[in-house]
């Protein structure tokens, strides 16, 4: 049995960006994660040992968010690679990384990129 595990709205104050003020002051970033894996054993056993530990997935994402990148594409791809390396049971991973108030010449609440491991 396949299932989708999701962590939505993970907030981080991080230092991604090309501009000096982005690297110095940081910004609010939000990560939305989903991963597809076999959930049959966990669904039957009701035992965390048979499931993907959401807290461990969060820790992998947090570690990648703590490392500054110039581009959110780079940070997002690092998260995809790190999660798939740490949790090979995921057959598909999708990560959306959003940056609050991106530095553009007009009003923009968020900029986002979504990367999948297909």
Report, as residue numbers or ranges, the catalytic residues: 99
Q: Which residues pair with 34 in a beta bridge?
A: 6, 94
Q: DSSP per residue over 24-63, as a string? A: HH-EEEEEEEEEEEE-HHHHHH--GGGS--HHHHHHHHHH
Residue 82, CA distances (Å) to 4, 41, 43, 108, 113 in order: 18, 24, 26, 29, 17
């Amino acid at each position: 049995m396949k299932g989708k595990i999701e962590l939505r709205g993970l907030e981080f104050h991080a230092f991604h960006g090309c501009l000096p003020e982005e690297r110095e002051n940081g910004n609010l970033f939000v990560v939305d994660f989903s991963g597809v894996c076999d959930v049959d054993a966990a669904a039957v056993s009701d035992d965390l040992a048979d499931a993907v530990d959401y807290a461990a997935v969060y820790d992998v994402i947090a570690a990648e968010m703590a490392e500054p990148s110039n581009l959110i594409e780079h940070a997002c791809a690092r998260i995809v690679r790190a999660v798939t390396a740490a949790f090979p049971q995921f057959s598909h991973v999708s990560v959306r990384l959003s940056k609050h108030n991106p530095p553009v010449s007009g009003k923009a609440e968020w900029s986002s990129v979504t990367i999948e491991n297909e």
